Structures are given as C-alpha cells and as structure tokens.
Amino acid sequence: MRGGVFGLLCGALLLPGSKSTKWVLRRAGDSDYACKCYPGDNCWPNKGQWQKLNNTVGGNLRVNIPPGAPCYNTFQGLLGNVLQTYNAAGCQKVRQNWGDEQFQIEMPAAGLWTYFTNDTCRPTTNPTDTCTPGYYPVLVIMAKTTAHIQAGINFARENNLRLIIRNTGHDFLGRSVGWGALVINTHSFQDIKFTDSWEGAGNYTGPAVTVGAGVQAFQVLKKANALNPPKIMVTGECATVGVAGGLVQGGGHGPLTGFYGFVADNALEFKVITADGKLNTANAETNADLFWALRGGGPAAFAVIVEASYRIFDDKPTAGVLLDIDQTHMTNATLFWEAVRVFHSYSTHFVDNDLYVYYELGTAGQNLHVHPIVGVGKTPDELQAVLQPMFDDLDALGISYYTTGAADFPTFYDLYQAMFETEVAGNSALTGGWTIARQDAEERHEAIISAFQTVVRAGSFMIGHMWSAGHGLPEERWAESSVNPRFRSVVDKLITVVPVAGNAPLADKAAAQDTLTNVVDAALREASPNGCAYVNEADPYEPNWQQAFWGDNYPRLLEIRKKYDPDGVFYAISTPGTENWEQIETGTRLCRKL
C-alpha cells in the first residue's frame, strides 16, 4: 500500500509482538510508518468511550488547554475550538507567573521549558492573536488514585494512543508534552512517610522515606529537616523537581551525589503500574530486573512510579562559598579564559575533598558564575583550606574576582535554602550535555578548556556540576543501579544550552539542532572521550545515545523493556527500545518505522 491510500488506513495492521490493530499507516519521505491514533483518525475513541473513561476516573478527565490561553479570545484545539477563553484576571496571573516553576508545575500538562511545545499560546497583550495546541497534549487525567492511573494506561493501550506520564513536567527534552497525546498527571500523589528502620526487601535497615509520585524535592527536604535529628536525602539540585519519577529513572544527581551516589543508588522499593495496567512492587527481591531498570534506565520507559522509598541520612553542618569571575573586570578575554582554566583544573581536587560545585559559564557574555561551592560536613576554615590553592593561583595571575568567603550553616538543608539560586521556567532553548571523566580532566585539560570556548563562541552556555558518583558510594554497590558505569569516574557533569524559539522557522530549528549536536556537544565529546551523557539533561539526538547514556548496561535494559512493555505503551525519546520510533509530519505523529 502506497501513496495517499496508505495514509488513510486504520485498524488493519497487526505489528509483530503487538496485540493492537489500531495503527494508522502513514508514509513520510521514503519510509512507511505505523502510527499511534490521533484526533481525526478512524480509530480515535468516540465521545461515548471518552465519557466512559471519565466516569471511571471519577470525572478527572479534562481537555488540555495551554496555560497561556486566558490571554486569547479563542483556543483552536485539535478537538475543536474553545471559545471565550479570554479572562483578564487569568491573563494577568499567567503573565506575572510565566517564569515561576511552581506555577507551571501545578498546571495539568504545561512544559516548564517551552521549546518542545512549539512555543505556542504564550502570554500576550493582544487577545486576538492565535492560540493553537502546538505540541501540547489534548486530554489529561488528573489522577487521584492508583485506579485512575490504571484506567488511563489501559485506555491508552487498548486504543493505541500516545501516552505521557507527568508529575511535575520538569524535563528539558519535551518528554512531558506531545502532540495529540493523553496525559496521566500524577502530581496529586503527595504522601510522605518516614521510618527510623527500613523493614522491606534488601539488606538495608537504616532510616528511610516513602514518597508519592508527585512529591517535590523542597517538600521532602523540609519535612526531613524537621525530624530529630534532622535528616537529608539525595535529590536533584533544583528544589522543584519531583523525586519519584523521571529523576530517579534517569539516575538523579545532586549536591549529595559525592557522598551517597545517585538518587537511583538510594532507592529501596517502588510501587509501579506496568504497561499491562497491573500494580506491582519492584525491589531487590520482587521483580528485581524491573527494580534495576527503574533506577537509571530511562524516564517513562518501564512503568509508572506511584510510590518510591529511599534511604535517608543524618544531616551535617555545612559551609558554602560563592565565586564570580567576570570578563568586564579584566583587560582581555585571554585572561578570563586563563581564570576558567585555573578554576576547572581543580575539579578533581574539589571532588576528592567531598565538595560539590555548581557553576554557569557564558550566561552573560564571558562570565563564570559559581553559586555555590558546598562543603557538607566541613567548617568554613576547612572549606577555605580546600579552596585556597585555587585562590592563590588566581591571585598570582592578577585575576579580579568576587567571593563571599566561606559561610557556616547548621545543616546542608540550611545552606540549600540560602545559597542555591531559584531557577525559572518559560524559556525556550535546546539542551544537550556531556560529562568530563577524571582521566580526561587530568590528561586533556587544555582540550577541555578549548571545548568550553567553542561552546561559548557558538552562542551557547553551560551549567556545570562537579561531583563524583563513585567517590562516597562503595564500589560493590555501583552495579546495583542501571546508570552508565562511566558515571563513577565523572568529575564534572555539564548541561549545554542553545537558545532558540520553539516557534522559530524550521530552518532555524534545524540549524540550532545542528549547532548543539555537531558543534557544541561534539567539542565536549572530543575533549573528553571517556565521558558519557546523562539521559535527563542531554541532546535528544545524541549520536549513539544507547552507548552514551547507558554503556554496557544497554542490552540488558533493552531486554527488560521488551519484557515489561513490548507494545511501546510508554514512550520517551532516546530511551531503551525506541530505536524505530519517530515523530513524523513535523514532529507530530508518533510512529514506528516499518
């Protein structure tokens, strides 16, 4: 079947290994595809089916309207136009809060960073402008119970719909949005339970916390700090990230990674719903293969996490320092880059002395913004002693810099509240990234700094995280999670950012993607050939992504994916088993290549 007829057929194809016949056959370029069902297709559920689903989920199914719609007279949706969406007070609220992460997180299906929404329906002062769906999903289940999630998974599987799982929308790669999709929003799962002694599977018996799928880092950290004595857990650097979803499934790094490894290394048990709609437990004894895969094997790839349990630890007094080096305070760019070289040459020294360093490079011209340098369990004098050789080298070169000196905090949580800067939502950009391996930091440092210069010259900027995921975690525990083994020798994990509007012309988008893949990240890959990439903060089109994200763990992850989700009910770009999936027709339809 070829040509126009091929694009009209639905429901006649049974793919190998699939139980569904509700595939839409399309042709793009020189290839044939079998696609998920979308509005307008014959296999799209009728109103009665949707109403039945709504009844099953307690009336919590709703049409998704982009968060900026109150600023427009009409929303032109895939299911029909929604008239009179304009609301002056609602528009003012959206305009005031567009950059606030928590505001976007509380939305049913917003994307915190807007590139992969197509930058559609942004707040405007002209209500006659056009508000279209872009790449937003069309329907959302605001799940309140496990049964609601099960019903949504079953409905998507039976009707071959694109399904997206969202708890906070906290991702850079567009995995929380998708054209024409059904979303299951799990943010209402907010339970937090502590225990002094874990009694579940495995040989761990210390303190633990169990959190619902929608719990965010700032929530659990605040409650853990209120315990006596104060406790802490490994979370992401950003306070608003969810701790029981994509974070742990991608690995999950943060300020405590140098002590305790990744979030994934500290998981004790998951309650999950698999692609067959069944509620399962995954731990070291039950569904142990799934447990391993969920700890770093890829977000939205194996199951929906409803609840997760983690190790927690006694919090410690902590010291912190801020540092800024700005080219405007220097005589030339050469001196600025010499300052960057000096700073980064201490990466192995920092992590070997249990420091965590968060920095931005190139955010405003040539600027190095280090906020903060963290010494968990250190006094200000001890932290200053670790940093002093770097300051001495900067002074010897006549580098002008600003530093606060070491500040003292009773716990890491107190430093976390005081010294980490608030992140913003609503911006549009492509993100990528790579890591710097210890061997390369020691043997190829000049090449690394040259790569940094390439990144900045290309109009990009970087966010660095200096930690060592293999430093504080016993080596015999490294293989317990499915994160890439190369991460155990990383000393700097980088995010690269190429600004581009999501609604830019296709040629501009293609040029930005080419810059990210073949200029910016390519320079870092070449400079640190022993590095790897982090699936949650990377180029979605990372070359050889299977090896870059998981290394030798990939074949096992692929087999586990085939076991638990053979039909591809779940999808997130560049995760195990998605090699033959593409978003065709200008990034809309999700399809399998035939």
10-residue mean pLDDT series, the chain (594 residues): 36 57 92 96 97 98 96 95 93 97 96 93 96 96 98 98 95 94 98 97 96 98 98 96 96 98 98 98 98 97 98 98 82 88 98 98 83 98 98 94 94 97 93 98 98 95 97 96 98 97 94 98 98 97 97 98 96 96 96 96
The reported pLDDT for the residue numbered 332 is 80
SS3 136: coil
Q: What is the pTM of this model?
A: 0.95
CA–CA dist 342, 349 (Å, integer): 12
The reported pLDDT for the residue numbered 439 is 98
Q: Is the peptide bond before 229 cis (omega within 30 degrees of 0)?
A: yes
| 8 A C-beta contact, residue 494 and residue 435 | yes
| 365 conformational bin, left if phi > 0, alpha if psi -120 to 50, beta if neither | left
CA–CA dist 441, 255 (Å, integer): 20
Fold (CATH) for 47-185: 3.30.43
SS3 135: coil
Looking at residue 37, the DSSP 8-state letter turns out to be B
The reported pLDDT for the residue numbered 17 is 56
The reported pLDDT for the residue numbered 557 is 98
CA–CA dist 181, 64 (Å, integer): 10
- As a three-state string, the secondary structure of 305-355 is EEEEEEECEECCCEEEEEEEEEHHHCCCHHHHHHHHHHHHHCHHHHHHCCE
In the CATH scheme, what is the code of domain 192-314? 3.30.465.10
Instruction: Give the class (CATH, top level) of 318-545.
Output: alpha beta
- So where are the chain's domains? 1-35+581-594, 47-185, 192-314, 318-545
CA–CA dist 562, 366 (Å, integer): 47
Q: Tokens for 303?
A: 């199951």
In order of 201, 231, 239, the CA distances from 165 in angstroms are 27, 30, 20
CA–CA dist 405, 401 (Å, integer): 12
Residue found by looking up tokens 């609301």 in the block: 87
Looking at residue 516, the DSSP 8-state letter turns out to be I
| 8 A C-beta contact, residue 114 and residue 41 | no
| 8 A C-beta contact, residue 286 and residue 319 | no
Looking at residue 363, the DSSP 8-state letter turns out to be T
The reported pLDDT for the residue numbered 405 is 87
Same fold flag, 192-314 and 318-545: no
Q: Tokens for 447?
A: 């090449």
Q: Tokens for 506?
A: 């296709």
| 8 A C-beta contact, residue 191 and residue 211 | yes
CA–CA dist 550, 558 (Å, integer): 11
Residue type, 83: L
- By the 10 Å C-beta count (0-12 exposed, 13-18 middle, 19+ buried), 106 is classed as middle
The reported pLDDT for the residue numbered 21 is 74
